[in-house]
Amino acid sequence: MKHKTKYIPLVLTLLIIISCATVPITGRQQLNIIPQSELLALSFSSYDQVLAESQLSHDKTQVRMIKRVGARISASAEAFLKENNLSSQVKNYQWEFNLIEDDQMVNAWCMPGGKVAFYTGILPICQDETGIAVVMGHEVAHALANHGGERMSQGVLTQLGGMALNEALKNKPEETRAIALTAFGVGAQVGVLLPYSRMHESEADHIGLILMAKAGYNPQEAVPFWERMNAGAGARPPEFLSTHPAPETRIDNLKKQLPEAMKYYNP
């Protein structure tokens, strides 16, 4: 037994080396050991599960605004990828945008494959359609950069020993789905994945600025949005901020990235 187990670290190291992908726009190399077909199937089923367990908003005005912004941001994302010969990365996406009724939850997320959810608790901080676009661009950027797949890969390696996803779902369904919800930004993002999360948030900020600019929303509004988010955080930041960069660092980085994003902005 010892003879076999001593090779596990070597196998995992080789797996990591041969399973790297590149993040659009930033060019960062990332770990990706899960086939997209399996990842999207898990994402879609997880999304349906979350919606079934949630109360969707009946506010038609707010729901329409979420869907309108989502349509514009997703269109700009697809256009940007097409311009850079990367359309294949979203060819199997099934965009969907829903608003969940929960005024205590200051949060939003986008699962792999374009499955987006906003909570009503974040709308007062967004204030208007452009504020929603800041959040929407950021969350869609997570999907484009495959942060969910990267975090899922990390979770499978660290918690399930590199088990294939279909085998993990068969043999350890509850553990696997818990890893997925955390990786997709729905669960509590703590523990071994935390150091990666801050990097992902900064990357999503960068990509999100470009997406909202291409969609016709002023990227300069990202700075006051995050200032409002920080001001409303109080002594304990809301869940949406739990693993994000320090507010001052985030705002400084956004200001540095604005000149690049403004090149894509056409009101």
Question: Considering the domain boundaries, does residue 62 fall inside one?
Answer: yes
Task: Choose from 28-37, 60-69, 170-179 the range with maximum mean pLDDT.
Answer: 60-69
Report pLDDT digits (tens) over 7-52. 344 334 434 433 556 776 667 776 777 788 888 998 999 999 999 9
- The DSSP element (H or E) to which 55 belongs, if any, is none
- Give domain status of residue 5, yes or no: no
pTM (2 d.p.): 0.80
Domain that holds residue 85: 31-262
Percent of the chain past pLDDT 90, that is, above it, reads 50
d(CA 249, CA 267): 28
In-domain check, residue 22: no
Q: Which one has a higher pLDDT value, 231 or 83?
A: 83
Give the lowest-confidence range in 25-34, 135-144, 190-199, 237-246.
Answer: 190-199
Residue 25 lies inside a defined structural domain of this protein: no
Give the chain's domain count.
1
pLDDT confidence band for 245 (50 / 70 / 90) = low
pLDDT of residue 133: 98
Identify whether 24 is part of a domain.
no
pLDDT (tens digit per residue) in 212-233? 999 999 999 999 999 998 887 6
> Is there a domain that residue 90 lies in?
yes
Whether the pLDDT of residue 253 is over 50: the answer is yes
pLDDT score recorded for residue 15? 44
**Looking at the domain assignment, is residue 228 inside a domain?**
yes
Q: Is the pLDDT of residue 262 over 70?
A: yes
Specify the long-range contacts of residues 41-44, CB closer than 8 Å, at least 24 apart: 42/152, 42/165, 42/169, 42/176, 42/177, 42/180, 43/111, 43/112, 43/113, 43/115, 43/148, 43/180, 43/184, 44/94, 44/111, 44/113, 44/115
Dump the DSSP string for 167-230. Answer: HHHHH-HHHHHHHHHHHTTSS---GGGHHHHHHHHHHHHHHHHHHHHHTT--GGGHHHHHHHHH
Judged against a pLDDT cut of 60, whether residue 241 lies above it is answered with no
For the chain, report the end-to-end CA distance as a whole number of angstroms.
Answer: 65
Q: Tens digits of per-residue pLDDT, 155-169? A: 776 666 556 666 766
Strands 96-100 and 115-119: parallel
Closest CA to 30 of 19, 40, 14: 19
- H, E, C per residue of 218-229: CHHHHHHHHHHH
Is residue 1 scored above 90 in pLDDT?
A: no
Report the range of poorest mean pLDDT among 54-58, 141-145, 246-250: 246-250
Measured distance CA(101)–CA(119) in Å, rounded: 6
23 part of a folded domain: no
